[in-house]
Structure 1
């Protein structure tokens, strides 16, 4: 099925969106969500993000921590960088391991930003963000975010902006340590590849008609995001800037594909 696009205004969003989303908007757009029809609850959620300012420094809980707070599961996510200005950076992990006491003090003293490891990014960079990772997205970036479908985010620091923080909850679930570089990779623009092989989902870049890279996987759902060209999902044509959802890889037709992202969630015992 083709998922419905929802344009979400954010103060840190962009006034002008790139193709294929270009067009006059009455407000800054920070996110585009892909929403299923009523009664369908996918395990994953796909978004485009467009930034002109720093997003808050935040963290997500793991399954055990989230369930203690009444959520069905935690949230892990990944970022695929589509475009980045020359000085664009992501904040991911800390520059060094610190105690929770020091983490609390850094927030209280307005020094939290200095603890974050700000990394330069460029198109094709891929980051897997495990639960507990302290993270933020800087300005001048366009990316695709794929995440577990649950609304649980704890805002740790917001540069003095007047928004609610979730300090105690964030510190309780945060891993106050550097980011593990094994979770970072690069996608070559002309190569099919498995980009993410996490415990909650997998992500592939697929170039052309190359279903073999994911054909044998036993997954419970598939999200298909064409970046160039078109694909067909369950008989529906999905173009660049859109997203399709299906339950079997055999329902994905790549004959018109140029470059797509394909994400899947695993069945119990699936390979």
Structure 2
């Protein structure tokens, strides 16, 4: 079977903090309260399904089982096996998300039989007062952490960033973080749904119940180190990839195009995912396959693709991610 660039049916997640922008951004019928769209997912019970083409209706798990190294690359398959290693999301926060942290590979394997969760955010849109938390702004240790959560002063110790479109944040497993109201982000992460909720502003649901917290579990998962800045600095350039993040789990670049771009992947040995941030265009590969891409769409390029050409229609902004 000839593998081709794949689009998947979005998995929309209604949540109490979700907004109304995801469906509009993705050119879907309006729905309110959608907090996340899972674009490419191998998470159990949330596996993506091919949207079109000869393999329409197949799940990502089925694609991987039938094609292994052709789909993800030999190095990637040897490392991650039959689990697709990345989860791609759009997140629309109408209200503040909880303060949380994700365990690393070692702790996740021990406690949950899962991968850890290192991730990154690219801010797509933001209201004028939008912000997020990431990392510590003041010295912290396990004992002080517990004390400050209990007396409702934990957020005072976190680094708070006002955000605007184009901002990038890398969040290795162990870094405390939270998305604030008014943020619309693209998230690239390891395939894991393990989250330890630390603090939720003492909010209650309609029945008067507070959400479950994982204060003790998080205590051993947190990286208590401090950094001067937790924001990723980069200089945008036209018509060439600009690397934003490179780690063992993914490498992500920004492409801002107003002219065609050719990409040679013959030595990569990994799948590639393109995430549409603005504009539209199309992608052709060396096999003669052609796929359109526009704002709000994500396209998975199989690892057996040697090269592609990207043709913007006017201007096109994409995130490109793969595993080195």
TM-score surpassing 0.5? yes
The separation in 2 between residues aligned to 1:19 and 1:64, in whole angstroms, is: 37
Residue range with higher mean Cα deviation, 128-137 or 224-233: 224-233
The separation in 2 between residues aligned to 1:74 and 1:211, in whole angstroms, is: 34
What is residue 230 of structure 1 aligned with on the other side? 281
What is residue 19 of structure 1 aligned with on the other side? 25
Tell me whether 1:51 sits opposite 2:93 in the alignment. yes
The separation in 1 between residues aligned to 2:293 and 2:145, in whole angstroms, is: 45
Following superposition, the deviation at residue 62 of structure 1 comes to: 1.1
Aligned pair partner of 2:229 in 149, 159, 181: 181
Tell me whether 1:210 sits opposite 2:261 in the alignment. yes
TM-score, normalised with respect to structure 2? 0.75
What is residue 269 of structure 1 aligned with on the other side? none
Deviations 1:94-136 (A, max 9, x none): 1112110000111111111212111111111111111100000
The separation in 1 between residues aligned to 2:178 and 2:228, in whole angstroms, is: 16
What is residue 245 of structure 2 aligned with on the other side? 196
Residue range with higher mean Cα deviation, 64-73 or 143-152: 64-73
Residue range with higher mean Cα deviation, 147-156 or 226-235: 226-235
How many equivalent pairs are there? 264
- Give the 3-state SS of the residue equivalent to 2:320 in structure 1: strand
The separation in 2 between residues aligned to 1:128 and 1:163, in whole angstroms, is: 27
Tell me whether 1:110 sits opposite 2:156 in the alignment. no
Following superposition, the deviation at residue 236 of structure 1 comes to: 3.4
Closer, same or farther: CA 179–139 of 1 in aligned 2, 3 Å: farther
- Give the 3-state SS of the residue equivalent to 2:124 in structure 1: strand
Q: Are 1:124 and 1:187, in contact at CA under 8 Å, matched by a contact in 2?
A: no
Tell me whether 1:32 sits opposite 2:32 in the alignment. no
Following superposition, the deviation at residue 30 of structure 1 comes to: 0.8
The separation in 1 between residues aligned to 2:183 and 2:295, in whole angstroms, is: 18
Following superposition, the deviation at residue 56 of structure 1 comes to: 0.6
RMSD: 2.3
Q: Which has the larger radius of gyration?
A: 2
User: What are the ranges of 5 or more consecutive residues in structure 2 without an aligned counterpart?
Assistant: 1-5, 41-47, 50-58, 65-82, 204-209
TM-score, normalised with respect to structure 1? 0.88
Tell me whether 1:142 sits opposite 2:192 in the alignment. no
User: What are the ranges of 5 or more consecutive residues in structure 1 without an aligned counterpart?
Assistant: 267-271
Q: Which consecutive aligned stretches of 4+ in structure 1 deviate over 4 angstroms post-superposition?
A: none
